[in-house]
Amino acid sequence: GCKVQVTPLASGDDEVASLMQRFNGACAAHPEIERPEIMLLMHTFVAEDAADADRLTQDLSAFYCQFGAWFQNKKPVHQGILEPLTEDEIAAMPQYAPDRIRQNLVIGEADEVLARLKAYEALGYDQYSIWIDSGLSHERKTKSLKLFIDRVMPAFL
């Protein structure tokens, strides 16, 4: 009787589709239970232009490298801050390289973000949740949210 939330972290749209396939399989295996709603949570940032999208991509790549190191207990934490990563440590995480992050997270100008969300809707997701906690400044997050509200959300109203 619970609703479901899933996140592919930075695994990309193949994982988004796989999560929905597994959800549909679980629902099909239990037809006696009404299908719950399912929400997709992803890092999502709307950029003003291509240069802004590139900057967001670089910053989110750095965030995921730090997040990955923290999550795997690879670096010491001092006063709540993870020790910075070396270039070699960053290079050892190609799954978080900028090109992969740009492909696997929802980053782009409004039309790009809208296309991705429409694809998720077509897969069967009922709700979408923006994951915005990313080490970016409050101002950059606010700018992205405003662009999302003004340029993406109207397509879903």
CATH number, domain with residue 27 = 3.20.20.30
- Which residues contact residue 65 at a Cβ distance below 8 angstroms, ignoring those fewer than 6 apart? 85, 89, 90, 93, 96
Q: Residues 37-48: pLDDT tens digits?
A: 999 999 999 999
DSSP code, position 39: E
Sign of CA dihedral 90, 96, 99, 102: negative
- The helix (run of H) or strand (run of E) holding residue 70 is helix 50-71
Domain extent for 95? 4-156
Q: What is the mean pLDDT of residues 29-42?
A: 97
Which pLDDT score, from 0 to 100, does residue 66 have? 87
Is the pLDDT confidence value at 146 over 90?
A: yes
Whether 72 shows a pLDDT value over 80: the answer reads no
- Cα 148 to chain center, whole Å? 14
Confidence tier at 81 by pLDDT (50, 70, 90): confident
- Mean pLDDT across 84-109: 93
**CA dist 35 → 1, 15, 27, 102, 121 (Å):** 9, 21, 6, 33, 16
pLDDT (0 to 100) of residue 42: 96
User: What's the number of domains the chain is made of?
Assistant: 1
